[in-house]
Structure 1
Amino acid sequence: MHYAELAKARAELTGPGGAFEIEVAEVMGHHIRTYKNALPSVRELWLMTRQFADRPYLVYGNERISYAQAHEAVDAVAAWLAAQGVVAGDRVAVAMRNYPEWMLIYWACVSSGIAVVGMNAWWMTEEMAYALADSAPKILFLDAERLARVNDRPAMAEGIMLVTVRVDSAVVPAGAAQVTPWSEVVARGGSMPDVMVDPDADACIFYTSGTTGNPKGAQLTHRGCISNLFSMMYAGASSALATQRATGVEPPAAPAIPVTLIATPLFHVTANNCGAYVTTAAGGTLVLTYRWDAGEALRLIAREKVTSMSGVPVMARELISHPEFETTDTSSLVSLGGGGAQVPPDLVLKIERQVATARPGTGYGMTETCGIITSIGGDFFVDRPDSCGPAMPCLEAKCVDDDGDTVPLGQVGELWVKGSAVIKGYINRPEATAASITDGWLHTGDIARMDGDGFIYIVDRKKDMVLRGGENVYCAEVEATVYRLEGIAECCVFGVPDERLGEEVGVAVVLKPGVSLSEAELTAHCAGLMAKYKVPRYVWFMDEALPRNASGKFLKRELRDRLSPEVAAA
């Protein structure tokens, strides 16, 4: 394999005069690696796409929106926000499915210096109420399903102006400061406000589940989001350059106008920062879906000539396993893989063998790094399918022991990263910020090792978390919800291996004497308080106390090994 060529390509691209030249800058008290040629803010990224006016930008069902139409709508939204007194530094929340309006609102806000609060569309009423109180947005854009949540608890919208998107008619919460339909917002027209956006201002607030029961609002800065865009472009450029020099064969040219199928929610960095940013910067087309369906995805790939798909690994597996895969024209695909979870080695090889025109690829990252930490694809991924690739140039990476000391090369430790892509912190959570970031170094919570070529291998998770289909489910949050049921003596939540989703949520429960509870009652209770993906799939009612170690902590690994899904409560 051509790892020497990769090292040379990386040095050339990131060295003096290189397209991805790295420099060290002092940012918020820390000396960090950053891209010298990076755009100063996300505003500049969006404004530069005016040159693509005649190209199709957003496709949703039978709707097609060109870049010219998108800019007209974005300008109108930005002008409307300014007229409402929303200024740089304020927050605007978006709570909806992946409708075209999501992206239009996003660009209007970030181009005006307003932070977008990405509300998880899976959230139930209580979770949504918490995030609104935590982030305190001035405006909330929401669809019919999220409006129903607000109507369940009108107090959550008190003092917040609402804009309804794709809502024909609905009961309007009495406590809302004002309710405006989307049609009125865009009908007014207007111009984008002329503002200067601080590179270290918040571009968006994306929530990540918290180990103490409440989600944490991660502050993704303009510098961080642009750094991730440059990392995404660099990853493809370095791999292609190394492969070409090693083989003497010109790699297939990247599509002149990329077409990306966005299959995961836009309130996650996988779809937004990695999928939408890169495609938008190239003047490409984003194909949005109402929900994930492998058959519909295949039809869209054929119809729209999709070149890549932004999704989690299970989606790629379901795509190539679908009965219609062999008879569908997928010849436009050049890349297939996933982010948000590790791609199993067997899937890497299946993509390589079964998709004639596409190469496997993935990026490992976090909300807290505005996107990818590492990237790997093509020949390198096929050769090392258990690796997630080397760290991006704007990030330093090291594996450390429990004392924060770097472990020798090849040994495992918690992966820490530092650089321009790392978030500013968590809103209203100084303790959580301090616990997660030490002198600029982000604690990823993943146990990893690094080889001599700089390739990183994720081997375990230090965090008490279940990774279900790309969604983080923190065990403490689910346990806290289960304990709200009367009659629970103790419970322990852990991940159960699942071929399709990677992991499912399982819970072992001990009831108080004389209490009777069914699995259906427990799951219905959870479903009423939290997003569906967090609700336990497997429930075991135990006749004896759960195993603990000397310090009183549950032995989750022992439970995972002991309890079989086949004998969970029916």
Structure 2
Amino acid sequence: MHYAELLKARDELTGPGGAFEIAEADVLGNRIRTFKNAPASVRDVWLSTLQFAERPYLVYQDERLTYAQAHEQVNAVAAWLAAQGVKPGDRVAVAMRNYPEWMLIYWACVSTGIAVVGMNAWWTPEEMAYALSDSAPKYLFLDAERLDRVKERPDMVDGIKLVGVRLKGDAGDVTPWADVIAHGGDMPDVAIDPDSDACIFYTSGTTGHPKGAQLTHRGCVSNLFNMLYAGASSALAVERATGVAPPATPPIPVTLITTPLFHVTANNCGAYATTAAGGTMVLMYRWDAGEALRIIAQEKVSSMSGVPVMARELINHPDFAMTDTSSLVSLAGGGAQVPPDLVQKIEAQVSTARPSTGYGMTETCGIITSVAGDFFVDKPDSAGPAMPSFEAKCVDDDGNTVAPGQVGELWVKGSSVIKGYINRPDATAASITDGWLHTGDIARIDEDGFIFIVDRKKDMVLRGGENVYCAEVESAIYRNAAVAECCVFGVPDERLGEEVGVAVVLKSGTTLSADELRAHCATIMAKHKVPRYIWFLDEPLPRNASGKFLKRDLRDRLNPEALSA
């Protein structure tokens, strides 16, 4: 394999005069790696796309917007917000499906120094109310489904003004999207601090509430450069090793966005990379493998990225063999580890596309590692090497670096690490030490610098790319008066990777069915967090000497096949 060439390519691209030259800078009290040639803010990234005016940018069903049309609407949103008194440093929340308006609002806000609060579209009214109280946005842009949830808890928007997108009929005091666009106007001219917040994305909480991660302009731009570097370094290494050069003019990307834009996978990775290249983003109402195949053929999609189950469902779909997928050059998986067998299936069954993956977190504004093509096929259980803006190390429980090749918790430091969590200095201090982010994943780093994730330190279920913290689910279950004790853990699942399972002991003299417990949970948290597998036990849950539940013992002992889940 071409690992020596990859190392040389990295040194060449990131060294003095290289396109991805790395420099060190003092940022927020820490000395970190950063890209010397990166734009100062996300505003600069968006404004650079004016050159693509006539190209198609956003496609949704039968709707199409060119870059020129998108810029016109982005300018109108930015000018309207400024006219309403929304200033740089303020926050604007977005709660909707992956409609084109999501991206237009996003670019309008980040281009004027306003931080976007990405609201999880699956949240219950209670979860929405918490995030709105926590982030205190001036405005909330929302669609009809989210407006219905607001109507269930109108107190959640006290002091917050609403703008409705794709609403049906009269919505009372909600400003229609059409009125915002009709305002027109030019993009306000503002200066943006690279270390100011570009957006607030929420991660599942370990203690019952999600945490609002502060993604900075520097971090978001660095993630874009990491992604561009990943493609450039791999291509250069393969060219040096094989003599086969990539096309002199890269094809214009057409990307099928399959995951929610309130996550870094779709937004910071899919949207940023496609937009910066002047490509087309194709949005779906919801994931459906058959519909995705139809879109790939119709729009000549060149890349699709989602959680691994999506790629598996695509190539296993009965229409796959009869669909023209020849436009595909990349079939990627993220948000969860891609099973090695799926890497081989993509390589074998999709004649034009190569498998790829990136490992990352909300807390790193996107990817930490990336691997594709020959390197991924050769090391299918690897997440790839760390990107150049990161230092990476594996540490023991005391924070000491372990020997090369040894297993430890992965810590990373660099320009893409978040500033912290809003209103949560305790959580920030627990997660970031002297600029080093504790990923919560157990890993090893091999002799080629490739990172292998081998286990999870966090008490978390990874369900279809969504992090579900066990403590958060347990907190919701304990709010049912019949529950004496409970223990939440992951149950292996072929389609989603893991499903949420829970062992429950009821208080004496009480009754509770699995469906009643699920209904209770569904009023408190999003449906993907609601346990699929529920065991009611007659004896106390097993504990260790320090009183902690023995999750592994429960997971090994309880049989999901015995439940009618």
TM-score range, shorter chain: over 0.9
**Residue segments in structure 1 that go unaligned for 5+ positions in a row:** 173-177
1:146-225 alignment runs, 5 A limit: 146-169=146-169, 172=172, 179-225=174-220
Alignment-derived partner of residue 521 in structure 1? 516
- 2:364 paired residue number: 369
Q: Report deviation, 1:568.
A: 2.6
SS at match of 2:45: helix
* Paired position in structure 2 for 1:226: 221
Distance 1:88 1:496 in 2: 45
**Pair 1:411-2:406 in alignment:** yes
Is 1:453 aligned with 2:448? yes
1:551 to 546, 552, 564: 546
Paired amino acid for 2:448:
D
Report what 1:509 is aligned to: 504
- Tell me if 1:484 matches 2:479: yes
Tell me the equivalent position of 2:73.
Answer: 73
Give the SS at the match of 1:240: helix
Q: What whole-Å deviation, never above 9, does each CA across 1:326-364 have from its counterpart, x for those lacking one? A: 100000000002111111111000000000000000000
Q: Which position in structure 2 is the counterpart of 1:327?
A: 322
Aligned to 2:122: 122
Distance 2:349 2:2 in 1: 24
1:286 aligns with 2:281: yes
Whole-angstrom distance in 2 between the partners of 1:566 and 1:452:
41
Question: Which residue identity lines up with residue 412 of structure 2 in the other structure?
Answer: V
In the other structure, the counterpart of 2:241 is: 246
The 1:397/1:267 distance shift into structure 2, 3 A limit, reads: same
- SS of aligned partner of 2:388: coil
Q: Match for residue 34 of structure 1?
A: 34
Structure 2: how far apart are the matches of 1:559 and 1:568? 15
Name the structure 1 match of 2:304.
Answer: 309
Structure 1 contact 243–251 (Cα < 8 Å) conserved? no
Any idea what the Cα deviations from partners look like across 1:7-46, whole Å, max 9, x if unmatched?
Answer: 0000000000000000000111110000000000000000
Partner of 1:365: helix, strand, or coil?
A: strand
Letter in 2 for 1:38: A
* Residue number in structure 2 paired with 1:84: 84
SS in 1 for 2:40: coil
| Structure-1 residue corresponding to 2:389 | 394
Q: Which of residues 368, 373, 381 is equivalent to 1:378?
A: 373
**Counterpart residue identity of residue 98, structure 2:** N
Deviations 1:293-344 (A, max 9, x none): 0000000000000000121111001100100001000000000021111111
TM-score normalised by L of structure 2? 0.99
The alpha-carbon deviation at position 503 of structure 1 amounts to: 0.4
User: Percent of aligned pairs with the same residue?
Assistant: 80
1:413-452 equivalence runs, <5 A = 413-452=408-447
Counterpart residue type for residue 153 of structure 1 = R
Given the alignment, which residue of 263, 272, 281 partners 1:277?
A: 272
Query: What displacement does 1:513 show?
Result: 1.6
Return the offset for 1:179.
2.4
CA-CA distance at 1:256 after TM superposition: 2.1
The equivalent residue for 1:48 is 48
Contact 1:95/1:140 (<8 A) preserved: yes
Give the SS at the match of 1:65: strand
Q: Is the 8 A contact 1:519 1:569 kept in 2?
A: no
What is the CA–CA distance in structure 2 between the aligned matches of 1:446 and 1:89, rounded to whole Å? 33
1:175 matched residue in structure 2? none
In 2, the alpha carbon distance for the partners of 1:569 and 1:359 equals 39
Structure 1 residue 253, shift from structure 2 partner: 6.9
Q: How many residues align?
A: 565
How big is the shift at 1:168? 2.1
Deviates more, 1:486-495 or 1:270-279: 486-495
Give the gaps of 5 or more residues in structure 2. none
